[in-house]
Structure 1
Amino acid sequence: MIWLTWRQFRVQALTAAGTAAAIAIYLVILGMQIRDSYDSDVAGCKSNCSSARQHFLGQYESQVILVSVVLVVVPALIGLFWGAPLITRELEAGTHRMVWNQSVTRTRWLTVKLAFIGLAAAVLIGLLSLLLTWAASPYDKVEGNRFGALSFISRNITPIGYALFAFILATAIGLLVRRTMPAMAITLGALAVIQIVVPFGLRPHFQSPVRETVAMSGDISQSPSINVGGTGVNVVDFSIPGAWVLDSENELFDSKGKQVTEDEIKDCSSGMNYTEEVACMAKKNLHFNVSYQPADRYWTFQWIELTGYLVLAGLLSFFCLKRIRHPLV
């Protein structure tokens, strides 16, 4: 049964292996370039280091984003071209009548295919994710945004669970729809929705966020931007090194807990340079509340999301194994 699965799967496997080898070579070259630039321009910086970091990020931003997108797209392609046709191909060609009437039961036939191809998907994405994590680690260290939607799903262990889930999900959809093209279309739509719901709807709530009150500082490097709106003054672009700040804007309050108005800070913007403005704002004892996920929760979130994808993949596998026992045509 394993030999039969390999015979049917070898073209896809060899194509994937060749593509993965090309991506791996590119990642090794990119990783060496990023490390050389980091060692010479960032780690060895002695003056104007902020500009050096920005130049370093700008130099490799497009390459890192491109490969990260590839690591998100490849699991979806595995689902589309490995999972969706797994059962529908047999049904459309009529070969299921011969395959499922041999000594090998339908359940065993599907179990071997899910295990064999699922393992191949996990190994493929695991290796690419490992290489991307290594290659981009200096970039990620400087950028400080490991919780970002694109970074999180393309680094470390989460991509492995996502790839397995995408493959099993597509197989289950194919089992229900029984036609390859509709199954591929539904799978693509479902994965697109998941890539919106999980990072923006579920991931921020894997653990209860930490909520703190932050005072406006006179330190320029720690001073966030101010946005004057119709209802009051808000803080924007506030960040905590390595953490995931969940609020895009935070209301600014005075010492009595009342939201600050434009008139109350007007004296800090007339005829002053930026350093003087920051110092003026700090003297007013202003503060804002911020919700965030601490940096030390990164690996906890990785394991939570990996586990979630593996559990869903297991449930879908169980459904497929139960469903295939019943007549499909």
Structure 2
Amino acid sequence: MSATSSISLLPRLSGPRWVAAHQHRTTGRVFGGFVAVSFLAVAAFLAVSAGADPKADFAQSADTGMTMLLQRVAGAGMLLPALVGAFVAGPLVARELESGTYTWLWTQSVSPVRWLATKLALVSAVTLSGTAVLVVLFRLARGALSAEAQFSLSWYDTAYEMLGPVQVAMCALGIGVGALVGLLVRKTVPAMVVAGITVLTVAWVFTGLLRKSLWPVETLVSKTPIESLHTPAVWDFADGMLTASGTRVLTETCWGTEGVGKTPEQCMADLGGVQYFADVHPESHFWPLQLIESGLLLVLAGLAVAVAFRVLRGRHAGAS
């Protein structure tokens, strides 16, 4: 596409907004194209699900195909915030600082603050709105799957981020971290690496350490084995038996020498267990967990952006 036609697609942008949009138009088109293709794929699957016999071979093939696609999308979705952070840190911020091209805009009555704010506003509008659309499409497609297929996309596992606002908030964090790292590192490739690793590290901290503690865990107690454990509807952390005094005997206690030649139930009963227990997050905890995590991520994103502007002002206080 020629530069003239590109300009015609952005009639309402001017000044630094036009420059930023024009510089990164290819990336925007690729992301927009991916969102459009996703929309068409989900629309076609919903049409098949609504109009075909679910037991028909064609409908079952579509169900299987969409399940496999959503599994891959969920996996790729975990990398999207890191890619956003790397893009903002490198091509959006550090590359201009490294090459010195930012000075041209700054001599055209564009302040450093406006330069950065414009870039972040554009990338935020495109990335966050596009990610929100992807989340909605993912939820619609998963909801139309058969019950068996939905089991492979349980709400607390790989699909968790793509089922709610956490994915959008994580991308916002990627934008904030990317801006800060780009201003600090000022070298394109190193900034991309540092930003990507930083976002992945934060995501791992939430996924592996913090997420299950963001909302009070529910403890189930029963005289018989708890059947809801190890199912897609229940996220369980610890299970076992309680003694008469309330002491916990965890199932994994019987994985060692204590459990040789015994079932876990027999082993725990021999250790004094009298009733079963399990610490779980039922599916009803999905939205509280999502909203709290999203709020924390947005706070971190806001702090990163605030520090980025402070760094910018400190280093270029005399720029016009």
Tell me, yes or no, whether TM beats 0.5. Answer: yes
Tell me the distance in 1 between the aligned counterparts of 2:107 and 2:207.
44
Query: Is structure 2 residue 256 aligned with structure 1 residue 302?
Result: no
Secondary structure at the counterpart of residue 212 of structure 2: helix
Shift in alpha-carbon separation, 1:64–1:172, aligned structure 2, 3 A: same
If the length of structure 1 is used for normalisation, what is the TM-score? 0.73
The offset of 1:109, in angstroms, is 1.4
In structure 2, what is the equivalent of residue 17 of structure 1? 32
**SS of structure 2 residue aligned to 1:150:** coil
Once the two structures are superposed, residues 23-68 of structure 1 have per-residue CA deviations (whole angstroms, 9 ceiling, x without a partner) of: 3323333445566789448xxxxxxxxxx9xx99977543221121
Instruction: String of CA shifts for 1:152-210, please: whole Å, max 9, x gaps.
Output: 11113221111111122112111111111111111222222223211121110002212
Say whether the 8 Å CA contact 1:145–1:243 is kept in structure 2: no
Alpha-carbon offset, residue 286 of structure 1: 4.6
Tell me how far apart the structure 2 counterparts of residues 191 and 31 of structure 1 sit (CA, whole Å).
34
Equivalent-residue separation in structure 2 for 1:288 and 1:32 (angstroms)? 45
Aligned to 1:292: 280
Q: Does 1:129 align with 2:135?
A: yes
After superposition, the CA RMSD in angstroms is 3.6
Unaligned runs of at least 5 residues, structure 2:
1-15
What is the SS of the residue equivalent to 2:219? strand
Paired residue secondary structure (2:215): coil
Instruction: Work out which of the residue numbers 73, 97, 104 in structure 2 matches 1:91.
Output: 97
CA contact (8 A) 1:37 1:56 kept: no
Distance 1:32 1:64, change over 3 A: farther
Partner of 1:316: 304
Identity %: 21
* Displacement after TM superposition at 1:82 (Å): 3.6
Match of 1:273 in 2: none
Aligned to 2:24, the other structure's residue is in SS state: helix
User: Match for residue 42 of structure 2?
Assistant: 27
Residue 326 and residue 311 in structure 1: after superposition, are their counterparts in 2 closer, same or farther (change >3 A)? same
Gaps of 5+ in 1: 42-51, 225-237, 270-280
Aligned length: 284
Residue pairs, 1:1-329, within 5 angstroms: 1-32=16-47, 39-40=54-55, 61-139=67-145, 142-143=150-151, 146-217=154-225, 223=227, 238-239=229-230, 242-247=233-238, 250-252=239-241, 286-327=274-315
Taking a change above 3 Å as real, the CA distance of residues 216 and 34 of structure 1, as seen in their structure-2 partners, is farther
**23-32 or 160-169, which moves further after superposition?**
23-32
Letter of the 1:7 partner, please give it. H
Code of the residue aligned with 1:143 in structure 2: it is F
Residues 34 and 136 of structure 1 are in contact (CA less than 8 Å); yes or no, is this contact kept in structure 2? no
Q: Distance in 1 between matches of 2:184 and 2:77?
A: 28
Paired residue type of 2:86: L
Q: Structure 2: how far apart are the matches of 1:140 and 1:326? A: 56
Aligned AA for 1:168? Answer: G
TM-score of the pair, normalised by structure 2: 0.75
The one-letter amino acid of 2:81's match is P
